Amino acid sequence: MANPTDKAILFDASKCTGCRACQVACKNWNQRTYTRTDNNGTYENPLELTSQCWMRILFNEPEKRPATDDELYWYFTKYQCMHCTDATCVKVCPSGATQKYKVSDGDSEAWLVKTDPKKCIGCNYCVATCPFQACRYDAAEKGIFRCIMCFDRITNEPDAFPTPEQAGLDMKNQPDPYPTRNRPACVQTCTTGALDFGTREEMLAKAEDRADYLKQNGSKNAQVYGLDQVGGLHYIYVLEDEPDKYGLPAKPTVPAGVHVWETLVKPGAPWGGLALVGLVAAAGAGYVINKRNEGMERKVQGGGD
């Protein structure tokens, strides 16, 4: 299970207005470029995660609108890598490129899933087996991309923040120019309070309180999501209804073959005599998996990125 002092992000769907400022902030901070898309009659944009778009806001339109005076109604969801405790992508990676990295700010820790492009062999096993379909391979950049929980921000990595001298500022007697530097870009940008960041324990407590409040105020199905899915997610959600209404799998499943692969085939596995078979399989399967994953998540083309 996840460590209570791990860092986590809280998304409160009941406070989200779908403005997508978080999506833009993610792109901006992580220096991702735009890609051309077409309007397909939805506000979602783009319609699936890409190597250039690591998170996006889903506009889930309910078949039956809850009792409300609003003409329009959506269940908004912030969708990205969930930084699973039992991360499938880490389990299946045959080259050790995708790993969990421990970062610490002194009081608490975060275990972030990241891929080292230098080690990635492009087999796409992580892409094929991720229970949230949340990582993407980029052939041009030769690497796997996903939300990295802004590790450079939350650890105050010096390169991420220019010194006052570099920024040409006279900082004598001035307040810290980056007072919220240790918050992820998406969290920092949200103006409605739908996003929060802290230890997983704190985020879960806040989520439970909010879900209780929503239950007492008309949302009888209000609930917390992320507590124990895939060993516990490092994104915690407050939902006003069942997860499937938000495009979230109630019980995200890890393909059965992952356990066989991890135990018998993966190089370095306990029964690693089959390691060579594993490498050949990894390389050979890449093309097939790439084809399978074309158009995963939401298959419709459209929107504008």
Q: What does the binding site for ligand SF4 look like in residue numbers (CB under 6 A)?
A: 16-22, 25-26, 29-30, 54-55, 57, 76, 78, 80-84, 87-89, 113, 130, 132, 134-135, 146-150, 184-186, 189-190, 192, 194-195
User: Among residues 57 and 239, whose Cβ is nearest to ligand SF4?
Assistant: 57
Please, what is the minimum distance in Å from the beta carbon of residue 130 to ligand SF4?
3
Query: What is residue 265's three-state secondary structure?
Result: helix
Residue among 254 and 274 whose Cβ is closer to ligand SF4: 254
- Pick the closer one to ligand SF4 by CB: 21 or 285: 21
- Minimum CB distance to ligand SF4 smaller for 91 or for 171: 91
User: What's the closest the beta carbon of residue 34 comes to ligand SF4, in angstroms?
Assistant: 15
Contacts of residue 237, defined as CB under 8 A and 6 or more positions apart, other chains included, come to 10, 11, 12, 13, 77, 207, 224, 225, 226, 243, 246, 248
Question: Based on CB atoms, which residue is closest to ligand SF4, 54 or 261?
Answer: 54
The residue whose two tokens read 């007072």 is 179
CA distance 197 to 108: 12
CB of 233 to ligand SF4, least distance (A): 8
In the complex, the smallest distance separating the C-beta of residue 163 from ligand SF4, rounded to whole angstroms, is 22
Residue in the block written with tokens 């499937």: 244
Evaluate whether 73 touches 66 at the Cβ level (below 8 Å): yes
User: Which residues pair with residue 102 across a beta bridge?
Assistant: 111
List Cα–Cα distances, 107 to 26, 148, 199, in angstroms. Answer: 25, 20, 9
CB 135 within 8 A of CB 127: yes
Report the 10 Å Cβ neighbour count for 159: 6
CB 245 within 8 A of CB 263: no
Task: Name, in order, each residue with C-beta under 8 angstroms of 218's C-beta and a sequence gap of 6 or more.
Answer: none
Considering beta carbons, is residue 113 or 123 the nearer one to ligand SF4? 113
In the complex, the smallest distance separating the C-beta of residue 173 from ligand SF4, rounded to whole angstroms, is 32
Question: Closest separation between CB of residue 172 and ligand SF4, Å?
Answer: 32
CB contact at 8 A, 267 and 94: yes
